[in-house]
Structure 1
Amino acid sequence: MSRPPMALDTPQQDIEEEIVSGVGEGDENMEEVIEQEGYSSSTPSSTLTWISWFCSLPGHEYFCEVKEDFIEDDFNLTGLNSVVPFWKEAMEMVLDVEPDEDSSKIPDVSIVESSAEMLYGLCHQRYILTRMGLEAMLDKYESGVFGSCPRVYCVGYNVVPCGRSDIPGVDTVKLFCPNCNDIYTPPSSRYQGVDGAYFGTTFAHLFFQSYRELAPAPFWKAPITNPNSQKIIEGGGGARGSPFVNPNQYGGQKRPEGYVYVPRIYGFKVSERAKNGPRMQWLRLRPESPAELDLIDWRGKWIDDGEDGYDDDQDEEGDRPMEDFDPVCALPRPRSDRC
C-alpha cells in the first residue's frame, strides 16, 4: 500500500523519525482493515481470542462465548476426548496455547480447525445449561438475536436455537417457539452449516423452565366478540391491553397467542375429518382455563378413564408421527361434552 504524499511544510526531523520507525498512516490503515476482516494476530498484543473470533463469524450469531475456565475444567469435558479427533491440538487452538513440536507433523491445519470447532461446539452445548450460560443466552434472547417464530398466529414470539440430536453430524440447528411448541428452520441459509448438536435437545426447554416469565401460559381463552358492535369483550385470556396473571406461579407467566388458522373454502370451514382437512390444529389449541388442566393426568388422558396401567412400550425414542384420531375429542372440555 502506497503512502500518502507528505505536506511540504513537514519538518525534516519528523520525516526522518517516520522513516526510522517504519510506521506510517498506511500501516495504521492496514491494521484497521485486518481488524475489520476478523483476522487474529499471533502477537501477544492482540486482544482477539480464538473464541471471540469464532463467535464473530457470519452464521455464528447464535453462539455465546464460553469462558476459558469452563473449558479448562476436565470435569466439564468428560467423554469428549473420545469424540473429538486431534484432541490435544484442538484444545491448544481453542485456548490460544502455543502448539508443541509434535503438532508440525499434522499434514493439514484445516483438520485441526474442524476438530477445534467440534470441541468448542460440544463445550458450548454443556455451557449453555449452566447458570452463566443461561444468562448469556438470555441476553441474546431479549435482544432478538435468535429471531421470531415464522408462524403468523404466534405474532412474533421470540425463539431460541435447539437441536434434534445431541450427537454431531445428525442435523443442523433449528429454532424452537415456546408458543406453538414447534421447531423451524432458520430463515437464513448461513445457519445451514451450524450443527444442531452444539445447542442440544435440552437447552430450549430448560431455558423456559428457568425463566418462566418468558414462557407463555398453557391455557388461553379467546376474547368474546359482540356480534352487534363487533367489539372484543375481555374474557379469561383477556385482550392485549389487560394485564395477564397466571394463577399457577410455576407455569408460564406470559400471555400466550392462542389463535389457530382455520382453512375455509368460500367462507365455509373444511371438516377436520376430511382427507385434506386441517391436521395441526390439535397441536396448538390450549385449554380455556387452568381448571381444565387438572382434569387430565401427566399422560394427557382423562383421570377417570379407568386406565390405571401404563404400557412402557408406547414410549419411543425420537419424534413420532402424528396419530390418526378425531381432533375434536382430543382436547380437554367439560365432562358432559366428552366423546
Structure 2
Amino acid sequence: MSEESQYSEHPGGWIEWFCAHEDHQFLCEVDDDYICDPFNLIGIKGKFNFFNEAINMILQPTSPEDQDLEDERFLEVYQEASDIYGLLHARFIFTSKGSAIMRERYLQGKFGHCPRIYCEKHNVIPIGLCEDLKTARIKVFCPRCEEVYMPKKKCADIDGAYFGKSFPQFLLMTYPDLHPKFQLLPDTQIQVDFEPTLFGFKIAGKQGSKMKKIEQQLQYNHIITQSNIQQIEQNIIKQEQKQYQIQKQQQQEQQDQQLHQQQQSDQNKEKPHKKKNKKKHKQ
C-alpha cells in the first residue's frame, strides 16, 4: 500500500481508485463534501447526460470490479464521471485545502521536472492550455524558465481542463516562497544559457536559449541576491517605459507628418480651382 493510499480520505472508494490509476497520478482526491455542494456543481450539470448517475459513481465507497469495466452502460457513465470529477478537480485545487495538497506534491516533485538543462531539474506544475474538455491534454509549466512542456510521466489520460490555464500562476501567487527567485541561496550562481557556436565562433542570427530579461543582465558566475534582482527588475521596467515613450513619440511624429502632407495636398488641390475661378471672372 502506498503512502498516499494510507492517508486517503476515500479508502477503497471510487475516488481513490481513480486517482491511483497510473495515468491519473497528477490528480488529487477531492473531498466528498466539496462534490456534494450544489454551488460547486454550477455550470457542470448541464454538460452531461448521465450527471446524477456519474455523481453517484464518484461517491461510491467501493471501487469498480473487473466485470463492470466490460459493461458498455457502465463505461458511458464512467467517461462522464471522469470528466465531471476532472472539472470539479480544476475548481477544488483553487481552494485552500486543494492548493495546500498540490503545494506539497509540487515540493515533492510528484509532477516531474523541467527538461531544460539549465533549469537543473526544477519541479514543474501541471497546466491545461484550454478550459474546455477534449481540447488539449495536460502539460507542465516550469516556474524557472516559464515555459510549457509535455510531461514525461504517463499522463496521457488527463485532460488539460482538469487543471486549467491559471493554476500554476495561482499556486505561485498563493505561495510566493515557491517562486524560484525566493528559493536561491546567497551563494547560488546562475547558469549561463546555451549559445550555439561553430568552431568557437558565434553564429549570426542564432540566439540559442530563450533568456529571460533578468538573466540577460546577470553576468556569468554573478551571485544572485534579492536586492540585485529587484534592481534589475526596476531597470527593466524603466527601459520598457522609455521604449514605450519613444514609440509613442515616433507615432505622434508620423501622425503629424501625415497630417502636414494631407494639408499640403488639400492646398494644392485648391490652387487650380482658384485659378479657374479667376479666369471665369476675367471673361
TM-score, normalised on structure 2? 0.70
In structure 2, the CA distance between the partners of 1:256 and 1:204, relative to structure 1 (3 Å rule), is farther
Aligned to 2:231: 291
Aligned position for 2:157? 193
Query: Which of 10, 14, 19 is the equivalent residue of 1:50?
Result: 14
Establish whether residue 111 from structure 1 lines up as the match of residue 76 from structure 2: yes
What is residue 186 of structure 2 aligned with on the other side?
243
| 1:219-277: CA deviation from partner (whole Å, max 9, x where unpaired) | xxxxxxxxxxxxxxxxxxxxx8x527xxxxxxxxxx68553111111112223xx2xx1
| Structure possessing the higher relative contact order (Cα contacts under 8 Å, 6 or more residues apart) | 2
- AA partner of residue 292 (structure 1): I
Select 1:149's aligned residue among 114, 133, 136.
114
Paired-residue identity, % = 31
How far does residue 130 in structure 1 lie from its aligned partner after superposition?
Answer: 0.9
Partner of 1:265: 198
1:211 counterpart = 2:175 = yes
The 2-side partners of 1:302 and 1:113 are apart by 54
User: 1:208 aligns to what SS in structure 2?
Assistant: helix
Check the 8 A contact 1:260/1:285 in 2, yes or no: no
Q: Which has the larger radius of gyration?
A: 2
- For 2:81 and 2:142, the matched residues in 1 are separated by 30
2:151 and 2:189 mapped to 1: Cα distance? 22
Is 1:281 aligned to residue 217 of structure 2? no
Q: Secondary structure at the match of 1:175?
A: strand
Contact 1:128 1:134 (C-alpha < 8 Å) held by counterparts: yes
Alignment of 1:1-339 (within 5 A): 47-96=11-60, 108-188=73-153, 190-217=154-181, 243=186, 257=190, 259-271=192-204, 274=205, 277-278=206-207, 280-283=209-212, 286=215, 287-288=217-218, 289=228, 290-297=230-237, 301-303=240-242, 305-306=244-245
TM-score by length of 1: 0.59
- 1:281 deviates by 2.6
Give the whole-Å Cα distance in 2 for the aligned partners of 1:256 and 1:90. Answer: 52
The Cα of 1:212 is off from its aligned counterpart by: 1.3
Cα 1:293–1:50, aligned 2, differ >3 Å: closer, same or farther?
Answer: same
**Alpha-carbon separation, structure 2, partners of 1:256 and 1:67:** 43
Equivalenced residues, count: 221
Contact 1:258 1:285 survives alignment (8 Å): no
Aligned-pair CA distance for 1:85: 3.1
CA distance in 1, matches of 2:19, 2:190: 33
For residues 215 and 63 of structure 1, the distance between their equivalents in structure 2, rounded to whole angstroms, comes to: 22
SS of equivalent residue, structure 1 residue 134: helix
1:80–1:119 contact (8 Å) kept in structure 2 = yes
CA 1:150–1:293: 2 relative to 1, 3 Å: same
Cα distance per residue 1:101-153 (max 9 Å; x no partner): xxxxx962110000000000000000001110011111211221111111000
Task: Give the partner amino acid of 1:281.
Answer: K
SS at match of 1:217: helix
Decide whether aligned partners of structure 1 residues 94 and 285 sit closer, same or farther in structure 2, where only a CA change above 3 A counts.
Answer: same
Distance 1:285 1:278, change over 3 A: farther
* Uncovered stretches (5+) of structure 1, i.e. residues with no partner: 1-34, 37-45, 99-105, 219-239, 245-254, 310-339
Supply the AA of the counterpart residue of 2:195: V
Q: Which runs of 5+ in 2 are unaligned?
A: 3-9, 63-70, 219-227, 250-283
What is the distance in 1 between the residues matched to 2:174 and 2:136? 26
Identify the residue that residue 275 of structure 2 maps to in structure 1: none
**Aligned letter for 2:234?**
D
Aligned to 2:5: none
Residue 214 of structure 1, CA deviation = 1.5
Runs of 4+ in structure 1 deviating by more than 6 angstroms, as ranges, are none
